[in-house]
């Protein structure tokens, strides 16, 4: 077997209801993999699963789970215990532009669980299974913002750096046992998160990369045995050529504007115009 099916017959995908997770599900199904689809939205997962099963004649399982809860990852591991999983796409994550001290501490804790502990628990559980079966693969989805601290997204860039470092280390630790680990560092990928973050598409430094292209590049990097992948050659070049200090300043300013946009949006929602 070649391609993703070489890792095993089933893939577990978190955050599968939209964006990068959904695109991974579509790519895996097209490659003949059965799917365990995990997210909070049952309806969207069921619609996606039915569509992919019909289109590609694969099996699917929907796991409705909130991975920002302390027991979320364990529930997902248990839900996939009886199928031969060979691929983990640990994608679920969240973030919110804004000043660190303006954010609610309980929400920061929830996002920390989602952005770090969930990846830890899933990588540990499925990594153990993969080593035991002698083959398998993981894609841990971090973010390009993990390469340095981001003003106006300090908490989330710090959490994503955990995923980057975890994945880089596991790439070397688990490789000799037949387990491939690649960290995806998406930056300017065209998903709903651009609008959810309040980013102004007209002021982005480069046009967002189609999500299907980002997934294709990531799968190619995984199969080639690469440790990390920043989808989009333009962004890789821009990242390499921009001095670190300037990158921190530029991205912090962009995220500051995004936070202002979100605040304005919330104000407009709370105070609709009267006619």
Average pLDDT of the residues in 72-88: 98
User: For residue 185, is it within any domain?
Assistant: yes
Lowest-pLDDT range of 1-10, 89-98, 130-139, 214-223: 1-10
Residue 112 has pLDDT above 90, yes or no: yes
Report d(CA 182, CA 218) in Å as an integer.
8
Here the CATH number for the domain that contains residue 75 is: 3.40.50.720
**Domain count of the chain?**
1
Lowest-pLDDT range of 19-28, 173-182, 261-270: 261-270
**Cβ–Cβ < 8 Å for 121, 73:** yes
User: For residue 273, is it within any domain?
Assistant: no
User: For residue 275, is it within any domain?
Assistant: no
Lowest-pLDDT range of 81-85, 158-162, 198-202: 198-202
User: For residue 76, is it within any domain?
Assistant: yes
Q: Confidence band (pLDDT; 50, 70, 90) for 241?
A: confident
Report d(CA 265, CA 65) in Å as an integer.
28
Report d(CA 23, CA 229) in Å as an integer.
16
Whole-model pTM: value is: 0.91
Beta carbons within 10 angstroms of residue 178's beta carbon = 14
Average pLDDT of the residues in 130-158: 95
User: For residue 274, is it within any domain?
Assistant: no
Average pLDDT of the residues in 238-261: 86
User: For residue 88, is it within any domain?
Assistant: yes
Residue 6 has pLDDT above 90, yes or no: yes
> What residue numbers bound the domain in which 183 lies?
3-233+241-268
Report d(CA 78, CA 125) in Å as an integer.
10
Q: Confidence band (pLDDT; 50, 70, 90) for 269?
A: low
Report d(CA 154, CA 99) in Å as an integer.
8
Greater model confidence, 238 or 38: 38
SS3 of residue 64 by DSSP: strand
User: For residue 190, is it within any domain?
Assistant: yes
pLDDT of 2: 61
Average pLDDT of the residues in 62-86: 97
Lowest-pLDDT range of 25-29, 48-52, 53-57, 265-269: 265-269
Backbone angles phi, psi at 34, to 5 degrees: -75, 155
Residue 268 has pLDDT above 60, yes or no: no
Backbone angles phi, psi at 31, to 5 degrees: -85, 5
Residue 223 has pLDDT above 90, yes or no: yes
User: For residue 49, is it within any domain?
Assistant: yes
Residue 6's H or E segment, with its range, is none
pLDDT of 235: 84
> What CA–CA distances, in Å, run from 223 to 126, 137, 229?
18, 9, 12
Average pLDDT of the residues in 60-80: 97
């Amino acid at each position: 077997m070649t391609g993703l099916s070489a890792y095993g017959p089933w893939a577990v995908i978190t955050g599968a209801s939209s964006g990068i997770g959904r695109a991974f599900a579509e790519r895996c199904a097209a490659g003949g993999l059965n799917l365990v689809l995990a997210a909070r939205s049952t309806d969207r997962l069921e619609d996606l699963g039915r569509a992919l099963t019909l289109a590609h004649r694969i099996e699917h399982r929907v796991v409705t789970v909130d991975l920002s809860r302390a027991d979320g990852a364990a529930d997902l591991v248990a839900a996939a215990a009886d199928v031969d999983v060979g691929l983990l796409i640990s994608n679920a994550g969240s973030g919110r532009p804004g000043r660190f001290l303006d954010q609610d501490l309980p929400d920061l804790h929830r996002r920390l669980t989602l952005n770090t502990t969930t990846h830890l628990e899933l990588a540990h559980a499925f990594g153990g299974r993969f080593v035991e079966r002698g083959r398998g693969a993981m894609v841990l989805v971090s973010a390009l913002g993990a390469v340095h601290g981001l003003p106006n997204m300090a908490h989330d860039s710090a959490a994503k750096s955990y995923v980057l470092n975890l994945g880089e280390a596991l790439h070397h630790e688990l490789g000799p046992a037949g387990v491939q680990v690649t960290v995806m560092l998406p930056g300017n990928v065209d998903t709903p998160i651009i609008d959810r973050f309040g980013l102004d598409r007209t002021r982005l430094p480069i046009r967002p990369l189609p999500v299907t292209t980002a997934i294709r590049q990531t799968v190619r990097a995984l199969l080639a045995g690469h440790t990390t992948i920043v989808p989009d050659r333009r962004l890789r070049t821009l990242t390499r050529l921009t001095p670190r200090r300037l990158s921190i300043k530029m991205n912090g300013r962009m995220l500051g504007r995004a936070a202002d946009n979100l605040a304005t949006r919330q104000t407009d929602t709370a105070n609709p115009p009267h006619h």
